[in-house]
Amino acid sequence: MGRNQTFDTAAAVRAARAVFWARGYEATALPDLERATGLSRSSIYHAFASKRGLFDAAVDSYLDEVVRPRLRPLTEDDVAPDALDHYLTGLRDALLRGDTLPATSGCLLVNAANAPIGQDDGVAAVVEAYAAELRTAMAAGVRARLPHLADDATQTLSDVCTGLVISAFALVRVDRAEAARSLDTARAVLASAVAATATPR
Amino acid sequence: MGRNQTFDTAAAVRAARAVFWARGYEATALPDLERATGLSRSSIYHAFASKRGLFDAAVDSYLDEVVRPRLRPLTEDDVAPDALDHYLTGLRDALLRGDTLPATSGCLLVNAANAPIGQDDGVAAVVEAYAAELRTAMAAGVRARLPHLADDATQTLSDVCTGLVISAFALVRVDRAEAARSLDTARAVLASAVAATATPR
DNA sequence: TCGTTTTTGTACTGATCGGTCCACTATATG
DNA sequence: CATATAGTGGACCGATCAGTACAAAAACGA
């Protein structure tokens, strides 16, 4: 009983997500969100209770629709040997590709971590979990490429990749070339580890 | 002729710097700056012309009084072999040391890069220059430790250190342990490069 | 003493912020 | 039909924002 919702919630969240991604939580004003979603303020508050509620929905959708799809080849049951290299080159290309959101605005969550909203316990927990997810995926990629590597070397290598991915995100907004270099460095480290294992001197 | 300035400009900038560092440019309000500096709004505008002017002064003082002193052992004419490891452990300890500004708020410039103020060309240029300065210092540290390393390996190694330092800064606010891990990873990579060079198999 | 500069206090501007409220219309079920 | 929910529009709230204006006081050199 009662009227059905006419707009697509997921689409509205995606539109809001783009604004939060590009401008950050604090700098995004209600009129921006009304414009992006095509919804009136009343509808926004009806559907999401608050600006913060919409942001939380945007973060969820960011993880589900942006982060995890890109990470999938590294999180599935069997991981291809070149999956990690593909991830790094794919991300590199994305950061260099014109005016896309990743290129101009990096990572929604890394941005949030270094903004006032990052001090919020809930947001901090999400970012922390994201970093852990990233690190697990990197480790899977390293293991797929170098199955016989010692555990501590595997961990160091995946921590290197994780850190360089994060630093790439932290730098894109200001220096796209430096961000790409960061990802190339991760690939170089990986390649030299492979070379060292394949042809021990 | 005329009254002399009674307050210490450098001290006022330091006080403002701490607020910008902890809260970011956008979230810092004029009353915050009045409280921190002990100056009235009139005096602030008289001395620094604008909030932005004070921020620029804070950034300069951050580079001169925070960044470069810590980097000095790596930027002087002759660099000690263990200077880079000292830098990394020193930074690691600073990020873990209680309620200091680096531990709670990371790096003023990395924070600025991921905030709306980072879109400003002037600020972006400063952050870019900072990243370059960091990378040069890391390279000097690597060369001091491994003088006979090939050029490309030296560059990769210093890029790894630079990236892991940046990622540590990008994560402290949200996950102090992960940030420390990032710096430990840099040290581990460095150590294994040393081991590989010292005892080639 | 006289001008000059520093510094403060206070009040103000115009704009924007997130959020609320309400009246109204539209569409669904029963 | 009644009733419940979806959605809009617009006015409004109190708070806050960066920045300005102005007068007064305080400390300096000449």
The domain of B92 spans 9-198
CB A28 within 8 A of CB A20: yes
pLDDT of residue B199: 66
- A29 close contact with B: CB closer than 8 A: no
Output the domain CATH number for residue B71: 1.10.357.10
Q: Is B159 exposed, middle or buried (0-12, 13-18, 19+ CB in 10 A)?
A: buried
Q: Which pLDDT tens digit goes with each residue over B116-173? A: 999 999 999 999 999 999 999 999 999 999 999 999 999 999 999 999 999 999 999 9
- A196 close contact with B: CB closer than 8 A: yes
pLDDT of residue B2: 67
Residue B2 lies in a domain: no
% of chain A surpassing 90 pLDDT = 92
Residue B187 lies in a domain: yes
Question: Helix, strand, coil shares of chain A as percentages rounded to 5?
Answer: 75, 0, 25
Residues of chain A in contact with residue B159, where contact means CB-CB under 8 angstroms, are 181-182, 185
Tally the domains of chain B: 1
Residue B178 lies in a domain: yes
Residue B4 lies in a domain: no
Q: What is the dihedral of CA A130, A132, A133, A134, to 10 degrees?
A: 90
CB B68 within 8 A of CB B152: no
Distance, in Å, from the CA atom of A200 to the CA atom of B201, rounded to the nearest integer, reads 7
Pick from B156, B177, B6: nearest CA to A193: B156
Q: Which pLDDT tens digit goes with each residue over A106-164? A: 999 999 999 999 999 999 999 999 999 999 999 999 999 999 999 999 999 999 999 99
Closest nucleotide to B49 by C1' from CA: D19
Residue A80 per-residue DSSP state: -
B13, HSE (Cβ side, Cα atoms, 13 Å): 21
- Dihedral pair phi/psi, residue A177, rounded to 5°: -65, -40
The amino acid that residue A96 corresponds to is L
Residue B103 lies in a domain: yes
